[in-house]
Structure 1
Amino acid sequence: MAIRSAGLLIYRRISRDIEVLLVHPGGPFWARKDEAAWSIPKGLIESGEDELAAAIRETAEELGAVVDGRFTPLGEYRQPGGKIVVAWSIEADPVLDVNVIQTSKFQMEWPPRSGQVKRFPEVDRAGWFSPADAAIKLLKGQRPILAGLLKHLE
């Protein structure tokens, strides 16, 4: 059975345009990557957990802010590695400040085989992007989620 994650594609309206919120993964593997490295806030669904509840929980863990409102299902998206991402969209408060995110941390041995365990933020930054910029920043497997949002908003 494929691993399942759940996430939210948060968007806001700026005049007649929209912007989407993306997060950049923390840790040493992603430190120097930008294009095709960003993601929607998402994470693994725990055993028996409601998928939308998992998306809301994971978003709160990655941003340090609870997002609430009317969630619109965007569907399930198979990633190149086989993982399934279940996504919803939600229109956010336009003043949601991506400069003050408070994210969870994870531990890993770094550098590899050094015996040193270091802590890293799950997300090292977040940003609002136009759909055109988001299509460049997003991981390849998540680009169809953005397309699903744009289709829904037409």
Structure 2
Amino acid sequence: MAEIKRSAGLLLFRRTGSGVEVLLGHMGGPFWARKDAGAWTVPKGEYEGGEAAWDAARREFREELGLPAPDGEPLPLGEVVQSGGKHVTVWAVEADLDPAGFVPGTFTMEWPRGSGRTAEFPELDRVAWFGLDAAREVVVRAQAQFLDRLAAALS
């Protein structure tokens, strides 16, 4: 039986005059370059069974954004299973972060496929704040549940 892949992440949120906004990252690499809908994600990453999900979420935030995970009271948003079978656990933290300071982590893959050449790509190629409705339009489908859970917790 295949081992379940697990990811953990932090969904930053802030309250503005026009409502709650969340910080999402656009997935990097050639597959996502020209996509918008479904190409944005909570900053997250995989972890192994020996690491606590909360610790992984904070570590992955730093790795993906190049910025320390903000301190704040974590609001557990639970787990979703994405279409590929990955289990994703997320916490929301209220914090304001300037996306201009973002320095993405990178990954290496063969590109173009079958060429034998490798290239390095950012894990996230940009980050931005979205109102909840706009975020639902662009986030990975399963992760929209985190937005609904956040909205319910804040109401």
TM-score, scaled to structure 1: 0.94
SS of the equivalent of 1:20 reads strand
Q: CA offset at residue 16 of structure 1?
A: 5.5
Contact 1:22 1:128 in 2 (8 A): yes
Map Cα deviations across residues 12-31 of structure 1 (whole Å, 9 max, x no partner): 11135111000001100000
Superposition misfits of 4+ residues, deviation over 4 angstroms: none
Gaps of 5+ in 1: none
Counterparts of 1:69-84 in structure 2, within 5 Å, are: 69-84=72-87
- Residue equivalent to 2:57: 55
Answering whether residue 96 of structure 2 is matched by residue 87 of structure 1, we say: no
- Residue equivalent to 1:11: 13
Structure 1 vs Structure 2 CA RMSD: 1.1
Contact 2:67 2:101 in 1 (8 A): no
Map Cα deviations across residues 27-81 of structure 1 (whole Å, 9 max, x no partner): 0000000011100000001330011010011111111111221111111111122
Residue identity (%): 49
- Letter aligned with residue 152 of structure 1: A
SS of the equivalent of 2:40 reads coil
Gaps of 5+ in 2: none
Could you tell me how far apart the structure 2 residues matched to 1:147 and 1:119 are?
Answer: 34
Could you tell me how far apart the structure 2 residues matched to 1:56 and 1:141 are?
Answer: 21
- Residue equivalent to 2:107: 106
- Residue equivalent to 1:42: 44
